Amino acid sequence: MIILEHIYWLSGLMFAGVAIVNWRDRSNPRRFNNTAFWGVYAVTFLVGSRLPDLANGFLIIAMVLVASIRGLGQGKQESATREEREASARRWGNKLFIPALTIPLITVLGTVLFKRIAINGMPVVDLKQVTVISLAIATIVALVTGMIMLRPPLLAPIREARRLLDAVGWAAVLPQMLAALGALFAIAGVGNVVSGLAQRWIPLDNPFVVVATYAVGMAVFTMIMGNAFAAFPVMTAGIGLPLIVQKFGGDPAIMAAIGMLSGFCGTLMTPMAANFNIVPTALLELPDENAVIKVQIPTALMLLGANILLMNFLVFRH
Residues 256-315 that bind other proteins (CB under 8 A): 256-258, 260-261, 264, 267-268, 271-272, 274-281, 283-288, 291-292, 294-296, 298-299, 302-303, 306-307, 310, 314
The string of DSSP codes covering 187-249 is: HHTHHHHHHHHHHHHS---SHHHHHHHHHHHHHHHHHHHT-HHHHHHHHIIIIIIIIIIIIT-
Which helix (H) or strand (E) segment is 63 a member of?
helix 53-65
CA distance 300 to 222: 13
Rounded to a whole number of angstroms, the distance between the first and last alpha carbons of the chain is: 50
| Closer residue to other proteins, CB minimum distance, 94 or 120 | 94
Q: How far is the CB of 236 from other proteins (least distance, A)?
A: 6
Nearest-angstrom CA–CA distance, 195 and 221: 9
- Nearest distance, CB of residue 167 and other proteins, angstroms: 10
Selected from 6, 9, 11, 199, the binder of other proteins by CB under 8 A is 11
Choosing from 27, 76, 118, 128, the residue that interacts with other proteins (CB under 8 A) is 128
Distance CA 240, CA 249 (A): 11
**Strand ranges, E, within the chain:** 118-119, 122-123
Secondary element (H or E) of residue 34: helix 31-46
Gap between the Cα atoms of 100 and 142, Å rounded: 7
Residue choice 33, 44, 213, 222 for contact with other proteins (CB under 8 A): 44
34 binds other proteins (CB under 8 A): no
Contacting residue, 39, 73, 75, 99, with other proteins by CB under 8 A? 99
Among 103, 202, 248, 312, binds other proteins (CB under 8 A): 103
**Which of 2, 20, 202, 241 is the binder for other proteins (CB under 8 A)?**
241
The binder of other proteins chosen from 2, 9, 20, 64 (CB under 8 A): 64
Asked if 39 is part of the footprint of other proteins (rule: CB under 8 A), the reply reads no
Please, which of residues 202-221 interact with other proteins by CB under 8 A? none
Each residue 138-157 as x (binds other proteins by CB under 8 A) or -, in order, gives -x--xx--xx--x-x---xx
Cβ neighbours around 200 below 10 Å, total: 7
Query: Does residue 187 touch other proteins according to CB under 8 A?
Result: yes
For other proteins, which is the closer residue by CB, 185 or 214? 185
Which residue of 32, 170, 248, 316 would you call a contact of other proteins, by CB under 8 A?
A: 170
Distance CA 5, CA 296 (A): 36
In the complex with other proteins, which residue's Cβ is closer, 98 or 202?
Answer: 98
* Residue window 66-85: x/- pattern of binding to other proteins, with contact defined by CB under 8 A: -xx--x-------xx-x--x
Taking the C-alpha atoms of residue 41 and residue 59, their distance in angstroms, rounded to an integer, is 8
Query: Is residue 172 part of the contact set for other proteins (CB under 8 A)?
Result: yes
With b meaning 16 or more CB within 10 Å and e meaning fewer, what string describes 201-231? eeebeebeebbbbbbbbbbbbbbebbbbebb
Q: How far is the CB of 174 from other proteins (least distance, A)?
A: 6
Candidate residues 3, 97, 118, 249; the one interacting with other proteins per rule CB under 8 A: 97
Query: What span, in angstroms and rounded, lies between the C-alpha atoms of 128 and 212?
Result: 37
Which residue pairs, CB below 8 angstroms and at least 24 apart, start in 109-115?
109/134, 110/134, 110/135, 110/137, 110/138
Q: Closer CB to other proteins, residue 10 or residue 202? A: 10
Q: How far is the CB of 119 from other proteins (least distance, A)?
A: 19
Read off the amino acid at residue 208.
F
